[in-house]
Amino acid sequence: MYAAVLRAPGPIERQPLDYSEVPEPAPGPGEVSISVLACGVCRSNLHMVEGDWMPNTPASLPIIPGHEVIGRVKALGPGVSNLAIGDRVGVQPIWSTCGQCEHCIGGHEHRCRRRQITGETRDGGYAEVIVAHAAFACKIPDSLSDTEAAPLFCPGITAYGAVKKAMLRPGQSVAVLGIGGVGHLALQMAALTGANANAVSRSPEARTLAEQLGARGAYAPAGNDHGYVLRDGSQDAAIVFAPSDQAVAEALRVIKPGGRVVLGVAQSVGAMDIGDEKTVLGTVLGTRQDMADVLGLAVDGKLHAVHQDFPLSQANQALQQLKAGKLRGRAVLVPGA
Ligand SMILES: [Zn+2]
Ligand SMILES: [Zn+2]
């Protein structure tokens, strides 16, 4: 099979992913192999490919990145009874969990310390075939296309977790900072709570997209010369997906006393004034039930993943465009395109 293989991390401008022929993986007990139809391109893939998270991530080299995977079940390993050959399924970043720790049995399996991560500890979906844990492969409703479904498997579940933690009520106001692959979905989900969802982005194109997706208003961050800026203390909550420390300061500025900031990307929070009793909390991924909820929203037509498709052989180029901030919504790789 062909795959975009990371053999040695390096700057994406030097094309560290090697599109080449590698042995096709076979499923072990409890696993399935899947013919990949689409795989989303995540900023975390960019971090790993460029070596930002060495030496812990990836767990080993070479590795095939990619954790927003849609495909058809090709072969069943021993003991698999929940899937059949030909089923269309999705694989999310959580490849598997231990099923036994306090997080797994407490309804927060995504926090499991013994979790396997697709494309980081196990080979991922920048390939023609991937092996998945059958219990963590999720069937995809027929009404969703491959390329629209793929971004739901990391941005979708991530946005869902962030909006849940913002604890919005109808009529409240929320700012979503960063309108990229994740932010554009968080904006739509925040609006579904009945809250007034406002977008904040430096990019005029992203602000236009936000308005098309139903944002109440689209704003520029403070200090930006072009575009309106949200008033201090005007929002009940803020959700941050913009990869910049200034975005956290902006979020803390726009929320009311007692408000909450939900961080969906790793950032430095800086000095916080305790006098306003503001809360900052992190969010990452979600459970298999969260994933099912996200797919339900998309099937009902309440959620639209904006995507830009690339052939799998162009994985380096897709990541370059992500780094340059040139993508509209999510980049999705398509094998054989
Ligand atoms: Zn991701
Ligand atoms: Zn566990």
| Tokens standing for residue 117 | 């991560």
**Mean of the pLDDT values across residues 259-268?**
92
Structural domain total, the chain: 2
Residue 116 has pLDDT above 80, yes or no: yes
The ligand minimizing its distance to the Cα of 96 is 2
Q: How many CB atoms lie within 10 A of CB 18?
A: 15
Distance 33 CA to ligand 1 centre (A): 21
pLDDT, one tens digit per residue, over 204-243 is 999 999 999 999 999 999 987 778 999 999 999 999 999 8
278 and 185, same domain (yes or no): yes
Q: What CATH number is given to the structural domain containing 164?
A: 3.40.50.720
Q: What CATH number is given to the structural domain containing 23?
A: 3.90.180.10
**Mean of the pLDDT values across residues 81-95?**
97
| Largest Cα span, the chain | 61
Higher pLDDT, 244 or 37: 37
Distance 249 CA to ligand 2 centre (A): 34
Asked if 91 and 172 touch (Cβ cutoff 8 Å), the reply is no
Supply the pLDDT for residue 221: 93
124 and 13, same domain (yes or no): yes
131 and 22, same domain (yes or no): yes
The ligand minimizing its distance to the Cα of 99 is 2
Distance 39 CA to ligand 1 centre (A): 10
The ligand minimizing its distance to the Cα of 156 is 1
Helices (runs of H) and strands (runs of E) counted in the chain = 9, 17
The ligand minimizing its distance to the Cα of 125 is 1
pLDDT, one tens digit per residue, over 275-294 is 899 999 999 999 999 999 99
Give the confidence band of 184 by pLDDT, cuts at 50, 70, 90: very high
The ligand minimizing its distance to the Cα of 101 is 2
109 and 34, same domain (yes or no): yes
Average pLDDT over the chain, rounded to an integer: 95
**Mean of the pLDDT values across residues 94-102?**
97
147 and 13, same domain (yes or no): yes
Supply the pLDDT for residue 128: 98
150 and 83, same domain (yes or no): yes
**Mean of the pLDDT values across residues 4-12?**
98
13 and 149, same domain (yes or no): yes
Distance 43 CA to ligand 1 centre (A): 7
290 and 274, same domain (yes or no): no
| Tokens standing for residue 120 | 């980081």
Supply the pLDDT for residue 272: 82
pLDDT, one tens digit per residue, over 123-170 is 999 999 999 999 999 999 999 999 999 999 999 999 999 999 999 999
The ligand minimizing its distance to the Cα of 91 is 1
Asked if 123 and 64 touch (Cβ cutoff 8 Å), the reply is yes
For residue 17, what are the domain limits?
2-154+285-334
Q: How many CB atoms lie within 10 A of CB 85?
A: 11
Supply the pLDDT for residue 218: 96
Counting Cα atoms < 13 Å in the Cβ hemisphere of 204 gives: 4
Asked if 194 and 169 touch (Cβ cutoff 8 Å), the reply is yes
The ligand minimizing its distance to the Cα of 66 is 1
Distance 294 CA to ligand 2 centre (A): 22
Q: How far apart are CA 257 and CA 275, in angstroms?
A: 8
| Tokens standing for residue 214 | 């139903």
**Mean of the pLDDT values across residues 180-195?**
94
56 and 143, same domain (yes or no): yes
The ligand minimizing its distance to the Cα of 106 is 2
Distance 314 CA to ligand 1 centre (A): 18
199 and 278, same domain (yes or no): yes
Distance 129 CA to ligand 2 centre (A): 27
Torsion angle in degrees (nearest 10) through CA of 66, 71, 75, 79: 80
Q: How far apart are CA 185 and CA 123, in angstroms?
A: 26
Least confident of 80-84, 103-107, 333-337: 333-337
What percent helix, strand, coil does the chain show, rounded to 5?
Answer: 30, 25, 45
Strands (E), the chain: 2-6, 17-21, 31-40, 69-76, 88-91, 94-96, 116-117, 129-133, 137-139, 173-177, 196-200, 217-219, 235-240, 255-263, 279-282, 307-311, 330-334
Asked if 24 and 18 touch (Cβ cutoff 8 Å), the reply is no
Please give all residues whose CB falls under 5 A of ion ligand 1, grouped by chain where several chains appear: 42, 44, 154
**Mean of the pLDDT values across residues 247-261?**
96
51 and 192, same domain (yes or no): no
114 and 241, same domain (yes or no): no
Give the confidence band of 71 by pLDDT, cuts at 50, 70, 90: very high
Distance 313 CA to ligand 1 centre (A): 20
Torsion angle in degrees (nearest 10) through CA of 322, 323, 324, 330: 10
The ligand minimizing its distance to the Cα of 124 is 1
The ligand minimizing its distance to the Cα of 115 is 2
